[in-house]
Every structure is written in structure tokens, then in C-alpha cells.
Amino acid sequence: KAGVTQTPRYLIKTRGQQVTLSCSPISGHRSVSWYQQTPGQGLQFLFEYFSETQRNKGNFPGRFSGRQFSNSRSEMNVSTLELGDSALYLCASSLAKGGGLTYEQYFGPGTRLTVT
Amino acid sequence: AQKVTQAQTEISVVEKEDVTLDCVYETRDTTYYLFWYKQPPSGELVFLIRRNSFDEQNEISGRYSWNFQKSTSSFNFTITASQVVDSAVYFCALSEEIGFGNEKLTFGTGTRLTIIP
């Protein structure tokens, strides 16, 4: 079974621009989560989607947004990029169903975003 | 608020030595899940183990073993007879269940393990 895929793998943008990152989960997984990883802040949760609905959101400004499509694929968007947004953005999928049990998350290779 | 502490920032051991990575967590919930992930130089986080708060049995998988102790809020990870391929950053993570399954993971800061040949 194919793993989580993320595109693009590398991206260079300038301040003020916006960017869209894409994530395709493992087949059959309906939950997709996004994380930001930086040397200073470590791994931080951005948001989680399940059946096209955002179920949980981390402590990030409104410039960070996401969505999930009916095929479970997800995108995240960052508008008005700042230098501090330079990071590795990781997407993870899991078998999470409607209730009661937390499954492990499987991560993609990440998109490394550099803002200049 | 939940919190995960990995006090060991970096560890170096000589190949074939055993090494234990510490993880201490804080949570007010009675139902929660603990995880370990490995991040090799390639950057992708690799899932190693999941443990729920009601299962305190230790687990062994090949050279890897995990010691979960609720009394001390710890979930330590031991690699026996370490190998160079074990060199990576290891993260401990905590997830709390809220109703229909909270997929938010709170990560520790990671421990960089270097195995010296």
C-alpha cells in the first residue's frame, strides 16, 4: 500500500506570497493532520481534518488554513508568508473513524518551505 | 494542558551498546495514548509504537523495548545492541482522546541519537 505523499517536496517563496501544499493520505485513511517542524519550536500541530471537516486546530494564526476533499486528499494554505514560516510541513494520515479510538498517524516525507 | 518532556537532547553511544531514551508526560486525562516516532536524516517520521493508558505491559519488538509506568508518567524506549542505522532523532508523543478521537499529537522536543561505529 502506498504511503502518504506530499507535493511539492521543496518550495522557495518570498515574503508576502501565499503557498498551497498538498497531501494524499494512505488509501482508506480518512483523517489527515498537518504539523509544522522548525528547529526552534519543534513539531507543532496545525490542524486535523476528517470527512472534509476540520475537527481540531492548533495555535496558529488565521493565515494558516486547510481543507480536505471528498477523496480525503488535503491541502494547506499559508497566506502572506513571513520569514518565520520557513519550516518542514508534515502531513499525517490515520485510520481514525467516528469515535472512541486513537490510531497511529503515518507521516509523509514533508514539504520544506523556505521563505526569503 | 498536556506536555511531553524529553530531557535528553543528544545521546552518543558506541555500536552494540544498549541505550535508553527517556520520556515523561503530563496530562489530566485518564484516557490517552503514547507514541514513539523515529526521524532519520531523510526527514520522514516513522511510527514505532502506540500504547494506550490502560495497557501498562512492557513491549518488546526485536531490539526495541518500551517501559510504560503510569506511576511516574514515563514511557521510556530502550534499544538493545544498537546499530549505526539506529542513528536518528526520536520523538515521544502524547494524544488525548476526546469523544470521537482526537488526532492531535503533542510531541516532545526529541532526542538525537548517534551510534558511533
A18-45 confidence digits (pLDDT tens): 999 999 999 999 889 999 999 999 999 9
Between chain A and chain B, the number of residue pairs with CB atoms below 8 A apart is 75
d(CA A33, CA B106): 12
Res. A100 pLDDT band, cuts 50 70 90: very low
CB A107 within 8 A of CB A88: no
Which residues in chain B touch residue A103, judged by CB atoms under 8 angstroms apart? 50, 101
Q: Is A39 on the interface with B (CB under 8 A)?
A: no
Return all residues near A41 (Cβ < 8 A) that are at least 6 apart: none
d(CA A19, CA A77): 6
Q: Please write the tens of the pLDDT for every residue from B35-85.
A: 999 999 888 899 999 888 888 888 888 999 999 999 999 999 999 999 999
Q: Is A91 on the interface with B (CB under 8 A)?
A: no
Res. B2 pLDDT band, cuts 50 70 90: confident
d(CA A91, CA A42): 15
Q: Is B43 on the interface with A (CB under 8 A)?
A: yes
